[in-house]
Amino acid sequence: MLLSDTALWLLLAALLLDAVIGDPDWLWRRLPHPVVLFGRVITMLDTRLNRSDRTRAQRRARGLVTLCLLVAGAGLLGMGLHLLFSALPFGDVLTVAVTAVFLAQNSLYTHVRAVEKGLSSGGIEGGRKAVSMIVGRDPARLDEAGVSRAAIESCAENFSDGVVAPAFWFALAGLPGLLIYKAVNTADSMIGHKTEKYQDFGWASARFDDLINLPASRLSGLFIALAAPLARGSILAAVKTIAADANKHRSPNAGWPEAAMAGALDLCLAGPRVYPGYTVQDPYMNPSARRDATGRDIARSLRLLIGAWAVMTVTVTGLALANIV
């Protein structure tokens, strides 16, 4: 299944389906989203295995067991779906539908756009309320520039792990690869925190999530850089910012799309960020650029998001056509 023409054409169809339809509310009001089901499994394992009376080594070991169970379970589920769909005459349609469910281009655009709308219609409180839906920062500590930068950074980072990464792993390993990626990424978002409760139990999930996001983060930075002219930005400036600042980020992955976004928009992003209970002291991306981001900059980041998605879609199409020749 490694980058086969069939997988690439199915991925292309899924990318287009997600872009047009996204996550229909009417469906997920009636059925639990698959990511929610992953979350329930992770919560169950967390409750049963992550006990405060265990030593740090024991909690790390139990966290590793949790990761292995998630990878094995998601992989088996993905293989089961692949075998089932392969036996059905309309199996490719089902594969496209399932793949589209795990892509987040449409919903990412919608949530980031809501922050821009919140700022324009509800002022700082409207922006804080909207941005609290997509970032974990303390919204009360954010001014307009902070709200705008948070939305733009979330746009960049989630393009990588919500769009490019699942697409990459589906192209590489089909439904098993896609489901394993989403299970691990969900685990990282739930237990991969550097808090007293999770710094040991969530360590394995956080490190494995870093590993499997390495390819997509680099590709995301490239896609965003190539789309820079759509936001009246410079491809060269985006590439230079990636080279200068991407590796300064505490995450081995988030720095790439964030640096690309910072360079393309000529904005200073990242830096110290306040979360409930703790502060992250990250260096700035593109530190010499302006920091007073506004709702107009969020709109420019959304144009970049669409452009980066288009670059990725053209790349997938080109690879599919190359496999035919």
HSE-CB for 25 with a 13 A CA cutoff: 2
**3-class secondary structure, 287:** coil
Integer Cα distance of 264 and 270 in angstroms: 15
Q: Are 79 and 269 within 8 A, CB to CB?
A: no
What's the mean pLDDT in 240-249?
A: 95
Question: What is the full DSSP assignment across 34-48?
Answer: HHHHHHHHHHHHHHH
Give the long-range contacts of residues 66-72, CB within 8 A, separation 24 or more: 66/42, 66/187, 66/191, 66/201, 66/204, 66/205, 67/184, 67/187, 67/204, 67/205, 67/208, 69/45, 70/38, 70/41, 70/42, 70/45, 70/183, 70/184, 70/187, 70/205, 71/180, 71/183, 71/184, 71/208
> Is the pLDDT assigned to residue 202 strictly greater than 90?
yes
Q: What is the pLDDT of residue 302?
A: 97
Question: What tens digit of pLDDT does each residue of 284-312 get?
Answer: 999 999 999 999 999 999 999 999 999 99
pLDDT band (50, 70, 90) for residue 5: confident
Question: To 10 degrees, the CA torsion angle through 303, 306, 308, 314?
Answer: -140
Give the tens place of pLDDT for each residue, 62-94: 999 999 999 999 999 999 999 999 999 999 999
Domain boundaries, the chain: 5-324
Alpha-carbon distance 15 to 146, whole Å?
31
| Residues 6 or more apart in contact with residue 136 via CB below 8 angstroms | 275, 276
What confidence score (pLDDT) does residue 1 get?
Answer: 46
Q: How confident is the model at residue 2 (pLDDT cuts 50, 70, 90)?
A: low
Q: Coil, strand, or helix at residue 269?
A: strand
Could you read off the pLDDT of 26-58 as tens digits, one per residue? 777 788 888 999 999 999 999 999 998 899 999
Q: What is the mean pLDDT of the chain?
A: 92
User: Whole-prediction pTM value?
Assistant: 0.93
Mean pLDDT of 132-161: 91
pLDDT band at 104 (very low <50, low <70, confident <90, very high): very high
